[in-house]
Every structure is written in structure tokens, then in C-alpha cells.
Structure 1
Amino acid sequence: MPSVLATGQQPSRIQRKGRYTEESMRHPGKMLPAIASRVIEAFTQPGEVVLDPMCGVGTTLVEAIHLGRDAAGMEYESDFATMTAHNVRQAQNQGAAGTARVVCGDARNITTAYASLHGEIALVLTSPPYGSYTHGHIKSGTKSSGGKIEKSNHRYSTDPGNLAHQRLDTLLDGFGQILSGCAELLKPYGVVAVTVRPIRVNGELVDLPGRVAEVAERSGLVLTNRLAALLCGVRGEGLVNRASFFQMLETRRARAKGIPACATAHEDLLVFQAARDLDGGRP
């Protein structure tokens, strides 16, 4: 794969239009379909199995079965798991050749939930939550409301048991448990791919990709590649900004305080393999 993937050529809403159900658009932290499809094409063959242990509304599963792979997912929130099932059904109605299944539950129990797939997973593709809420969606207020911006669909969950509600260190420990379980399910020389971006916690920039790489190493995985998956569009020698209203607002506020902030233009794509497969070198 190239080191930079042009996966933001179209906005998320265009990539999803007609391919995903309208209800699933309200999920606050969806992976770009173009990222999922590029990774799946690069690291798997038709008929192989792709797993997403934190599948949200099923982007990984939908793109996998459209590419003739089989897929399995797990999702903590029951309403999102239902949306995944609906998106999979829609994909199959549109001619997707692969099969997919989703279970609702805590992904820290992934090895139990998918014990039947032990040694069968060619690719794990997922992303960690970035906290209990995201920027979500906005709607301009009416004149009668003073033009106030209305915010919606910005919370992953109201369940305190969801990892998204935990402090960062606890969240990362839980994500490490999930990665460890996924590593057990991999077939020989299978791949774990994680999309992740830096975040700010109480105004401080946190190298979340670096923290995830550290957690993965403790979980028995070895980082073999680090790529950039673009969220912005590329037009000639320029970039088309696709940052949200709130991302731009927070960037401007930070710069006004003298903080050299930038709107996010890409996600890190971290590629891992199990340490057991790399001992002695790959054949």
C-alpha cells in the first residue's frame, strides 16, 4: 500500500448515500467506507474473514461483504448492533456476495463470542472510541431562538459500562484486552489494522496513535506499518477541508490562545501482526 491513502475524495455522506440506512447516519464516530474498503482489499482475499470487535453501525462488515469477504462484528450498544444488521441486510439486497454476522456485547469477551472463528480471521479492522462524546451533528437555529447552533448525535452511549465513558488510561487498558483477544483469533500471518487520530484531553494534545501502538505491543502485536488515511480531499496540489464545524471552531479558539492547532486532515492507519508470526522472520 502507498504510505498515504486518498480515502477522503468524497465526503462521508456521499460515500454512504444509498449504501447505508438513513438511521445509521446518526452514529457519532463512523469509519470512512473508503478507508475500510482500501484496507480490506490490501490485506485479504475473497472468501477470507474480516472482524471488527467495535463495529458501530457496521462499516467494516458492509465493505467486506461487498468485496466478497465474510465478516463478523461485535458492538456494545444494542441500537448500533441493530443498525449494523440493517446495513448488512441492505448490502446483501444490493448484491453483496459475502456473509456477515454481528453480536451485541462487550468486545473484551471477543474470544468467547467468536470461539468458532479461532484461527480463521485474516484481518481485524477497527477503531477505538475517542471518549464518551464527539462533535456530532449540528443544525442552525431559527431566528426566534437567536440563531443558536443545535447539537445532536454526539454521544456514543449513556451506559457507564461502555469503554467510551472511562478515563483514557482505563479505556486504553480495555482496548488492549480487545486487541489481545483479537490476536488469538487471527489466522497465521493475519493482520490487525487500527484507525486512530490524536485527540485533546482538557486542552492537551494526546498522541493517541502512539498510545494505541504501545497498548498493542503489550497485547502481543508488533507494529509493521504506519500509514496516513486522508479525511480531506485531494484536488491537484491542494486539499479540500472536510473538518466538521466544531473541529474548525475548536481549532480557531486554540489558535486565538496561541496554541498551534490544526484541523484533522487524516487518520493514522496502524498495521500490526502477531509477534508469534514474526518470530524468526516471515517466510
Structure 2
Amino acid sequence: MDSRSWWVLEPDPPEHGLPDDLRARDRFGGRDCGWVAQMRPFVRHFTRPGQCVFDPFCGFATTLLAAALEGRQACGIEIDADRAALARERLRRHGVDAPIAVGSLPDTAPPRAIDLCLTNVPYFGCRWPQDDTQGAAAAGQLYLERDYAAYLERLRDIFHGVRAALPDGGFCIAMVENVVIDQRMLPLAWDLGRLLGGLFVAHEERLLCYPREAVALPAATTRGDRSHEYALIFQKARETICIASTQAELQAIEQAGFAFELYGSFARWLQRGDADSPRLPADADLLLPDDEARFNQLLHWLHERHYQLSLWGEPILPPVRLQQLRAHWYLRAQRRDRLGRLVRLDLCLASQAAEYLRGQPDSAR
């Protein structure tokens, strides 16, 4: 891989494509089978020989085959049992031993320890053939999600599972494009980027282009041939906040008349100082009184200062019920300025934090 932000993909040689007999046995005709050539540069660049590449949407094991061709281990999860069987057969024909579990994250764990997640997400609105005999598999099939919000929620749950499985420093790379349904574009690539940004640190993107012959369009026609995909590159890494900006914001909160108690890693960092604590904190934890009206006044104040508010990565606007906050433990408010300086505040109720700490050993307090 080089520094180019885009490149044109070369089609797979026949020996790496999905065999015709396997394609014929797939009830979707294998129309959503990706290219091995699409995955190989990312396998080479983001793993070392012997490390394990994981695909949570395994499909026909294209990513797993790409990993094996580059001398890596591989494993995957596929929700459709029939496709998992076709994928295993495809790998056997190449002499590849890569386990494929049937199910879906987060309920089904990766079959082995992983070093890289590399995947092409199932697209919303894909006309997957419904089959009542599939039972549980159909119930979790992303192709069958009836509305876009539910689809994104399922993606969030799955990539939460990816984050839990990845080691610190491991990369999560997702191939995705915006989709057009009923002449309207749904910004799937950008929504997925926002979703992953709540779980990982965003690094870069690559634009992957497929060679297709151009066709002239009538005037004012907008529809393109969708001959490109984004490769969104994220990493499981610890993102640190700007100390000076965070201190200034905490002072502003106090001056605005909001009571809070500072605790956690940021409080400890301030007590010790940077000489003894070179590792900067990732957030500032604030304990707040159990006062719903006052809590929402603070949220409105933060919203007016252009903070992004979220509960476990899901954007939210005030007012927020304290019962809802208790169910999520904390609400995150963060803001990044034009110089890239990050302020991230995690807001928690003092009573709930006390309940949690009572169950912890003294060393953890």
C-alpha cells in the first residue's frame, strides 16, 4: 500500500473468484461476493505474517482467502449457515484452514484471537430472498432489516463486539459505500464512519474504484454507477484529551453555577502532575447531583457551547430522564476545536457512582 488516497482495483484472476458451482448454490446468486484483490493490500499493510484477520460478515470467505494468500491466519462469523458451508468449501479447495462460526456478534465470539478486523458490511436495502425456514438466521440477517435506524443499531452492536475482541492498537477497516434506494441516497458510509468514530480512533480512508464503462446520462439525471467504495480505517487506541482546554471548560462550568465533583483518571492526573504521569487521561469524569432539572440545564448549556452529547455512541439531545442515564451509567459530552484539541466529559450521577464503588475493592477506588 502506498500513500495514494484512491486506486482502481484489478479484477480477481479466475482462480481466486467464487467458483460457478458454489455461486449457483447460493440463493442470492453470489451477487454480493467481494474481490480478493480488494482485501489483500490491507492484509499486507496492517498485519504481520502469522497474525489473524477476522471478518464479522464472512459471506463467501473472500477476506479469509485474501488473508491466507498473504500468509496470515484467518477466521470469520457468518449468520447464514448455508453461506458458511459454501465459504468453508471454497477455502478447502484452496487448502485453507480458517474457522467460520455461524451466528453474529456480539452473541457469537470470533473462533480465535484476532489482530485485524477487515470486512465489507452488508448493505441496507439489499433484496435478500426471504425464507421462513431460516428461522433464527433470518431474524438477525442485516439484509432483512426493515428500517435504516434498526440497521444502524445492529451495526453498532456488532462493531461493539469487534472492539471487545480486538487487542489494543488493532485496526478495524470497513468497506462501505453510500446507497441509493428509491432514487434517494442514504449516507451509509458517513453514518458508519460516525458510528465507528464512537468506538475507535479514526485515521484515514481509501477510495476503491471498480473499472466500469461509463454511460451517458440525460440532462439533470443524478444517478451514478456506484463504482466505488470507501475503506474506512479505524484503530482501537486510547485518544487523549487536551488538559488545558479541559481545565478551562471545567472552570466555565463552575462559573456558570453547576455543581460537580471531579473523579477518575483526570482527577488523579491533576493530583500527581504530568511529571509523574506521562500518560494523559482520555476524559474527565464528573459526578453530578441527582437533580433531573438541574442536570438538563447543564446539558442545554453544553449543547449551546456545541458539545456533542451521546449515550454509548448514540447522539442525544436534552432533555434526558435520569432513569435513562442510569441505564447507560454515563452521558458523554465532547467538543473538538479547530486546532484538533479535544474536550471529553463523562457525566455520571453521584449516587450511582457511589453504588458502583461500594462493590469495588479499595484498590480500584
Task: State the TM-score, normalized to the length of structure 1.
Answer: 0.73
Matched residue, 2:104: 106
1:36 aligns with 2:39: yes
Q: Take 1:262 and 1:175, find their aligned partners in 2: how far apart are those partners?
A: 26
1:200 aligns with 2:180: yes
Q: Take 2:33 and 2:164, find their aligned partners in 1: how far apart are those partners?
A: 26
Q: Percent identity?
A: 21
Q: Secondary structure at the match of 1:170?
A: helix
How far did 1:84 drift? 0.9
Matched residue, 1:88: 91
1:59-111 alpha-carbon deviations (Å, 9 max, x no partner): 0111111211111100011111001101111121xxx5xx411011123324x
1:271 aligns with 2:233: yes
How far did 1:5 drift? 4.8
Amino acid at match of 1:221: F
**Residues 1:75 and 1:132: Cα distance change in structure 2 (over 3 Å):** farther
Q: Which structure would you say has the larger Rg?
A: 2
Whether the 8 Å contact between 2:16 and 2:36 is mirrored in structure 1 is: no
How far did 1:230 drift? 1.7
1:73 aligns with 2:53: no
Q: Secondary structure at the match of 2:54?
A: strand
**Residues 1:18 and 1:67: Cα distance change in structure 2 (over 3 Å):** closer
Whether the 8 Å contact between 2:169 and 2:237 is mirrored in structure 1 is: no
Matched residue, 2:121: 128
Task: State the TM-score, normalized to the length of structure 2.
Answer: 0.57
Q: Secondary structure at the match of 2:31?
A: coil
Q: Take 2:230 and 2:195, find their aligned partners in 1: how far apart are those partners?
A: 15
Q: Secondary structure at the match of 1:121?
A: coil
How far did 1:34 drift? 0.7
Q: Secondary structure at the match of 2:59?
A: coil
1:142-178 alpha-carbon deviations (Å, 9 max, x no partner): xxxxxxxxxxxxx365434312111111111111111
**Residues 1:88 and 1:204: Cα distance change in structure 2 (over 3 Å):** same
Q: Take 1:242 and 1:231, find their aligned partners in 2: how far apart are those partners?
A: 10
Q: Take 1:58 and 1:210, find their aligned partners in 2: how far apart are those partners?
A: 26
Q: Take 1:227 and 1:2, find their aligned partners in 2: how far apart are those partners?
A: 10
Q: Which one has more relative contact order, counting CA pairs under 8 Å at least 6 apart?
A: 1
**Residues 1:5 and 1:23: Cα distance change in structure 2 (over 3 Å):** farther
Whether the 8 Å contact between 1:48 and 1:122 is mirrored in structure 2 is: yes
1:121-143 alpha-carbon deviations (Å, 9 max, x no partner): 22101122113535xxxxxxxxx
1:230 aligns with 2:198: no
Matched residue, 2:189: 209
Q: Take 1:21 and 1:230, find their aligned partners in 2: how far apart are those partners?
A: 23
1:262 aligns with 2:265: no
1:196-240 alpha-carbon deviations (Å, 9 max, x no partner): 01111221112211000111123x1121111111212xxxxxxxx
Whether the 8 Å contact between 1:8 and 1:34 is mirrored in structure 2 is: yes
How far did 1:272 drift? 0.4
Q: Take 1:91 and 1:257, find their aligned partners in 2: how far apart are those partners?
A: 49
Q: Secondary structure at the match of 1:109?
A: coil
Q: Secondary structure at the match of 2:170?
A: strand
Structure 2 portions without partners, runs of 5+: 24-28, 132-137, 241-278, 281-365
Amino acid at match of 1:32: W
Q: Secondary structure at the match of 2:41?
A: helix
Q: Secondary structure at the match of 2:88?
A: helix
**Residues 1:223 and 1:48: Cα distance change in structure 2 (over 3 Å):** same
Structure 1 portions without partners, runs of 5+: 135-154, 233-240
1:163 aligns with 2:142: yes
1:3 aligns with 2:12: no
1:55 to 35, 54, 58: 58
Q: Secondary structure at the match of 1:188?
A: coil
Whether the 8 Å contact between 1:49 and 1:69 is mirrored in structure 2 is: yes
**Residues 1:72 and 1:156: Cα distance change in structure 2 (over 3 Å):** farther
- Aligned residue pair count: 229
**Residues 1:35 and 1:7: Cα distance change in structure 2 (over 3 Å):** farther
**Residues 1:242 and 1:175: Cα distance change in structure 2 (over 3 Å):** farther
Q: Secondary structure at the match of 2:221?
A: coil
Whether the 8 Å contact between 1:49 and 1:71 is mirrored in structure 2 is: yes
How far did 1:9 drift? 2.2
Q: Take 1:160 and 1:50, find their aligned partners in 2: how far apart are those partners?
A: 27
Q: Take 1:157 and 1:6, find their aligned partners in 2: how far apart are those partners?
A: 36
RMSD of aligned residue pairs (Cα, Å): 2.5
